[in-house]
Structure 1
Amino acid sequence: MPDGRLFTADAPFLRDMASRFGTPLIMHDLASVRERADRLKGLLPGDARLLYSLKANPLPPVVHALQQAGCGVEVSSLGELGLVGPSSTMLFTGPGKSSAEIRAALGAGALLSCESATEVARVAAIAPAAEVVLRVQPGHSTSAGLSMSDGRQFGFTEEEAVAICRDLPGALRVGGLHCYVGSQLPDTAALVTAFELVVRTVTGIADAAGLTLRVADLGGGFAWPYAAPGAGPDLADLPDRLAPIVAPLRARGTEIWFESGRGLVAPSGRLLLRVLDVKVRSERTTVVVDAGVNVLGGMSGLGRVLRPATVPRNLSTPDADPMRVDIVGPLCTPLDRLAVQVEVPQPHVGDLLCVDNVGAYAASAALSGFLSRPPATELVVDGLDAIGCWRLRSGHEALDPPGGLV
């Protein structure tokens, strides 16, 4: 399975799945998930741990496949915590942890990544002798697609981290540091620059605070296209360039952790959708499909993240002449756009289209509650074997408030 792609000759299989399960249909291939885990772990130092960030795709079979492939987990909610099985490496992150989340995370054996002095005090009040790691901000921006250096809600500055290490409440212990530069780092050079920055940051804090680093989480940023054809960058030279960067940590006996979300699961997913209408006009052609921002790229529909450069394939007439079109979903809003002026083999009503690389940030990041439309069906396959179907819950649930309604 080269470059983590699933189903290199897949059109008949995909058409059959769409016929059996309907559209819109998001397919996740566990064989691709395992392949990506093996490949990404192979790029890291042999004694390093790779954590899967559930925010990319919390679908239970995907999570379990990655745990079985030897990945630890990085979670940031009680919902995500409830999806994971026992793990020797579990990190609970997020800038606003409640007391209930802290208790649940500690009870599950997770290591808490603390983000402020207030949060450190909250942990100490619940578990005075707990071990935590401190999340620290990277020193400056990089070429990340989404940089964390300007995320003021995340973590300590270097000076704050040193100060809190010197004045910990109770018997609380700081066992390590956690620093994440950003996502979608485009090549080996960008990853090397990011990891060099992180190692300088965490070792500098440790030396200034007299801290023994049991764990150093260096983050990730392993890139992959989103809802567009293609594969991630060639990282064949990363192991040789990474070894001297992490050498100072290995010399201290520090456990080295990395994180990845989309880099592990993005290529495992494909979205199948049907053409509902084709409006041909002199200025441009608009193709209406049965999946919009309620299924894919929902946060971009609100202008919160970059819109996906969606370029679907036409599985019904793949050899037709290409046609430049806008692709929109069925929602009653002008924001429901999947692509603008992309070339697709001429589509007709009823054609089946396929969007590659949607294994990350698809159903769970979509506007599934908007307009009360049902979420997409998610089909899990393993190679050419269908495993089962899932669907996110949607709609309102009536609650019975304590004391009754006033």
Structure 2
Amino acid sequence: MRLHRNLVFAVIDGLHLIFNENKYADKVVEQLLKRDKRWGSRDRGFVAETTYDIVRWKRLYAEIAEVKEPFTRENLWRIFAVWATLKGIKLPDWKQLEGTPSRKIKGRFDEFSKTRKYRESIPDWLDNVGEKELGNDVWTKELHALNEQADVIIRVNTLKTTKIALQDLLMDEGIETLPLKDYPDALQLKERGNIFRTEAFKNGFFEVQDASSQLVADFLDVQPGMRVADTCAGAGGKSLHLASKMDNKGQVIALDIYGNKLKELKRRAKRNGAHNIETREIDSTKVIKKLHDKMDRVLIDAPCSGLGVLRRNPDAKWKLQPEFIENIKSTQQQILNDYSKMVKSGGKLVYATCSILPSENQNQVASFLKSENGKDFKLVKDKKVLASESGFDGFYMALLEKK
């Protein structure tokens, strides 16, 4: 591979924004890809994948490069040189890369690879939390899986098309997909590509949604004609899936405290042809109280640490703080207690997170069932999805029924 100066400079600029200015990696990469209209798909792919790769392995590369945060531009070039050397890329004769000790880099890599927190590039505190909650063996396997690049999975919008028809449409646009066993609405891209430019996407025939996330709508056991609340809807990936499972019949009330996310859901619902979704911003307690004892199904896709989705959000492990995880557990319990009141007698509730920590998952459900509100519910079943076993995102979901 030959390195091109303008592409590498873009990566260095992106790393500065992510590491030193605490910007979100996905937003930074999105902006970088608009930097030069002359860039082809291979150029954009290099910028995106290299940036994410270095973000993912920040601790390991920084240790090898012998640099500490905050990183100067010189530090970032040293980290880039480590990345390129370990990838077997010949370094060009640029002044920023002069004196790169290639042999020393490989030796330090071998040495640091003996220790998990360096090998898997994870903060000490987070490594300790994962081992404490999951045990040494499971955590070691899970960390390794969460450092793999995520596959691109899409969900067929059955309101508009079928899986086979969508495969044919995408093939006509040069995109080959593979069906996934045990995931009825999922297709996996054989190669990464900009699928948002396809006519199939513009026409609302699919949404990008990881396979593990697609399990949640099935778990909720919705039927056409029901009243369903998606209480932490965000931009509505699961609301859209629920609407398609209900054949556009009945009502999906998408709730969130962030109105801007619900506006995005409205745009997506229009594109998807999902007409039974109503959005409501939670701007006071009255919004929830009006729905008490009225919903057949309630989904609580709770805010969480996001440890199950590190494959697609590698910068999260550097942004997470111990106090955030402690605070989010209180929020989860509060949400469970408040939003469970919407479930009517005989109705069902799903509590879900994209975390792999039992303290955010099974333990939260157990605590809720012992609470005053939780006494009216029973646990029907739960499902723990580990990236190391499924090959997809880490997830948890529990189905509760109101007696």
Bucket of the pairwise TM-score, normalised by the shorter protein: under 0.3
Higher strand share: 1
The two structures have a TM-score, normalised by structure 1, of: 0.27
Q: Which has the higher contact order (CA 8 A, sep 6+)?
A: 1
